[in-house]
Amino acid sequence: IISKNLINTDMFSKLMERLITEKKPLWKNYLKFSLIEGRASIFLDRTLCFANGIKIVQELGQNFGSNKVTEEIFSVSLDNSFDLNSITFLRGKIVCDILQQLIKISGGTVFETEGSALLDVNPNNKIKITTKDVPRNKVKRDITIKIGAILTSDCSVEENFTIEKYYNIRTEEISDMCDHKLEINSATNNKEDLVTATIFFDLIQSNIHKTMTLHLGNHKPDMKTSCKGALFVMYNYVRLVSLIAKFENLVLSKKYQPLPSVDEVDFSLLSQEAEWNLMYDYVLYWPTIVKQSLNYLEEGQPKLHTIFRFLMHFSSEFSIYYHRTRILTDSRPHLMSVLFARIH
């Protein structure tokens, strides 16, 4: 950003100090300022973005992405329009679980119907998930979310496909991926979690308000997978776990030095544009995606699918980078510095 007016160094310093301390205190972790020949420049410092972005992720862990956008109390539940044995019911249940987690990470409180200290508290917002068409809500704070039905590949409502059968098919596909395409590690050993995550992607990656089709009707073990996108994300997740595990084993065998702290790593060595894209477009943008997913919640139109599409694009970008870049290099001193930056 180049100023149109010439200003002196003292004025510029005071302006930046006020901007940082009063308006955007977190900016100091990512921005850099300069004043050259009377022109003031404000720009993102990539090294600061890498270092401070990674620090925040490490500090917050699973809470990274939290936004304090509400302090209200919500109740989230399914109505009685669902067939409890159908995959549509499973989709509704997953939507319910995701909404509860998003509300909590956004600063709200989820009203529990059983075994909770909040039993005597009246929720400000009542969210009801249904399969029925409903008129516009007349009661303020009552939110109705319609879930689109699940169809099978022959375009009929999945009356004959039980949740158990659906889980069995996805378990078979995950087992095949783990047994034939990936190294054995903690992720591949925990196939149940991989199956659950795959099903989440499967049912929520499309707009939850619209009918979607699952290609399950003619499933055979040798068929091309019917959940390609979800499996692709899981595949790259397992590759990441394998990469970190291999690095840690090389440290134990004394072939690599232990990973230094973030403060000791030179992130200016991450000079590839793909590395910057992964940090700027995905890691640093994650809190915005979480916040956007609850847009239009009051209208009963939350955009939950944006989270899963975002993760699929992230996975695709990482896969390209992984194929083009050798991360675990030889343990030569001049190569270890960039290796440490990439491992972080």
Q: Is the pLDDT of residue 214 over 90?
A: no
The 10s digit of each residue's pLDDT in 64-76 is: 988 887 888 889 9
Residues 6+ apart with CB under 8 A from 6: 38, 39
Average pLDDT over residues 26-34: 70
pLDDT at residue 22, as a whole number: 65
What is the structure's pLDDT at 24? 61
Least confident of 74-78, 185-189, 322-326: 185-189
Kindly state the percentage of the chain with pLDDT values over 70.
76
Cβ atoms of 127 and 99 within 8 Å: the answer is: yes
Instruction: State mean pLDDT over 313-342.
Output: 93
Mean pLDDT of the chain: 82
Spatial distance between the Cα atoms of 64 and 330, rounded to a whole number of angstroms:
33
Q: What is the mean pLDDT of residues 41-53?
A: 87
Confidence of residue 13 (pLDDT cuts 50, 70, 90): low
**pLDDT for the residue 187:** 57
pTM of the model: 0.82
The two counts, helices (H) then strands (E), for the chain are 11, 8
Report the pLDDT value the prediction gives residue 159, as an integer from 0 to 100.
53
The maximal CA–CA distance of the chain, rounded, in angstroms, is 75
pLDDT of 1 > 90? The answer is no
Alpha carbon of 313 to those of 141, 149, 195, 241, 277: distances in Å?
34, 25, 20, 19, 12
The mean-pLDDT minimum among 6-15, 147-156, 160-169, 325-334 falls in: 6-15
Band the pLDDT of 42: cuts 50, 70, 90: confident
Q: Quick one: tokens of 329? A: 């290099």
Q: Which of 196, 212, 171, 208 is nearest to 96 (CA)?
A: 208
CA dihedral 107, 135, 150, 289 (to 10 degrees): -30
pLDDT at position 135 is 67
Highest mean predicted confidence (pLDDT) among 10-14, 131-135, 187-191: 131-135
How far is the CA of 45 from the CAs of 3, 267, 288, in angstroms?
18, 11, 20
pLDDT tens figures, 64-123: 988 887 888 889 999 999 989 889 999 999 999 999 999 999 988 898 654 444 445 567
Least confident of 228-237, 300-309, 328-337: 228-237
Quick: pLDDT tens for 272-285: 999 999 999 999 99
